[in-house]
Amino acid sequence: MNKKPAHELLSLLKNKKVSAVEIVKSTYEQIEKHEKEISAYVTLTKELALKQAKAVDEGKRSGPLAGIPIAVKDNMCTKGILTTCSSKILHNYLPPYNATIVEKLEAAGAITIGKTNLDEFAMGSSTENSAIKTTKNPWNLNCVPGGSSGGSAAAVAADETVLALGSDTGGSIRQPASFCGIVGMKPTYGRVSRYGLVAFASSLDQIGPMTKDVRDCAILLNVLSGYDEKDSTSAKLEAPDYTKALIDDVKNLTVGIIDELMGEGVEGSTKEAIEKAVKLLESKGAKVKKVSLPHLKYSVATYYLIAPAEASSNLGRYDGVKYGLRSKEAKDLITMYKNTRAEGFGPEVKRRILLGTYALSAGYYDAYYLKALKVRTLIKEDFEKAFKDCDVLISPTSPIPAFKIGEKANDPLSMYLSDIATIPVNLAGLPAISIPCGFANGLPIGLQIIGKAFDEETILKAAYTYEQNTNWHKEKAEIR
């Protein structure tokens, strides 16, 4: 039952063929069976979930997601439920409030299954940077699930939840979705409220859906989208009904293939899968053309100046004074600050804080941070130019399928380069989706479809058309 997508379960619930309690029990049975191997969750909320499900069955809880299990990435505030960001520094943090998206899920009747593992403070591409545990890829337990939303991706792929939430700062929804063979969408910056999302890089972070198929993605995006006065970066725009965009038709669409993301560094099997996907869209009537984004080659360097600079500022609040870890080894206030941060932050978070602090320091601000902001504008302009002739742009989500656990752990630069196809989208504030489009050595490959700002509908239309004419999304991982 838990293996079905949300839209099928909603139909069964409506026709009284299944109860919400049965769906939740089935989901927890799957968790009990596989969680020891997968390690997708940081916290499970079984008692709360069964209580919520019972309320749905008794008609006391309703909404567009009533009775549907959802997992929440553990960097989103949940009132009275541990929110750790998979970091020692927040090991005991119980938020006094809910993130806006958690409130929206409550109002929609969704059932909270638990909080999922991530790279500490969402800084990473493999979930190996978690201070709590290493999540495994359900398709191959020796491989990473991607990151930083690796726990959410693995939970959906292993059927340990029906829906999940991720956050995407440089590809943290799309890359794990690609590695785990599920659908993951990063909405336009400002489309979904960030209030209650623990900040990593405020000008880049965005919350989005991680689902079993494109229809579920549209249903969940309907619930998440919309203006929020609590978030100063929230766009004051009416959100459409995304399910209306689910049409098997791309006849009037012009698809641009990003030249720079189809060359060096892209594994042969990945390139082949993307080319086949493009041919399928072309056979359905889409017009295909090559496009060049010349400043894309600077995107990783630009990102790793801007994101750590913002992280350096945002993570200054973790000082052991108000909440979270406080070092016991402290004679005075300054020692307490230093020791708390030394004990509480992991090596990758420390690395990024140091990078960011350096880029913002006097004498280096203009040379690094300011220059990065200028290059960010050039990358954004490249996309704007390409969208004058194209409706959507296409690339691999990741140049390679999931890599082995430990393979890139001691090579940060190699790890950073694995996000080459996703980072530019965040820098430009655009929406993009990753959908399954093939396999290489038994591991999933993801197709990335990028759209114009606030045009998630066209992305969903292209993704749905591709999905309706293939069976990749129906493939299931055999966990062993």
pLDDT tens string 152-161: 999 999 999 9
CATH number at residue 204: 3.90.1300.10
pLDDT band at 323 (very low <50, low <70, confident <90, very high): confident
Query: Which of 87, 125, 126, 148 is the catalytic position?
Result: 148
Q: Is residue 321's pLDDT more than 80? A: yes
Range of the domain at 233: 6-252+403-474
More confident of the two residues 416 and 168 = 168
Predicted pLDDT at 480: 66
145 occurs within a structural domain: yes
Residue 280 has pLDDT above 70, yes or no: yes
pLDDT tens digits, one per residue of 198-218 = 999 999 999 999 999 999 999
Proportion of the chain above pLDDT 70, given as a percent: 100
**Active-site residue, 148 included:** yes
Specify the number of domains making up the chain: 1
Model pLDDT, residue 479: 87
Q: How high is the pLDDT of residue 416?
A: 87
For residue 151, name the pLDDT band (cuts at 50, 70, 90). Answer: very high
Q: What's the pLDDT at 330? A: 82
Q: Is residue 370 part of a domain?
A: no
Looking at residue 447, its pLDDT comes to 98
Q: What percent of the chain has pLDDT over 90?
A: 94
Residue 298 lies in a domain: no
Q: Is 380 a catalytic residue?
A: no
Q: What is the mean pLDDT of residues 141-163?
A: 98
pLDDT in tens, 290-318: 999 999 999 999 999 999 999 999 999 99
Average pLDDT over residues 437-459: 98
- Residue 269, domain member (yes or no): no
The predicted structure's pLDDT at residue 338: 92
Q: What is the reported pLDDT for 83?
A: 98
**Among the options 172, 178, 299, 395, which is catalytic?**
172
Measured distance CA(442)–CA(140) in Å, rounded: 8
For position 331, what pLDDT does the model report?
86
- Evaluate if residue 467 carries a pLDDT over 90: yes
The answer as to whether 266 is a domain residue is no
Residue 156 inside a domain? The answer is yes
Whether residue 92 has pLDDT greater than 70: yes
Task: Answer whether residue 333 is part of any domain.
Answer: no
Of these residues, 39, 73, 149, 312, which one is catalytic?
73
Instruction: Tell me if 122 is assigned to some domain.
Output: yes
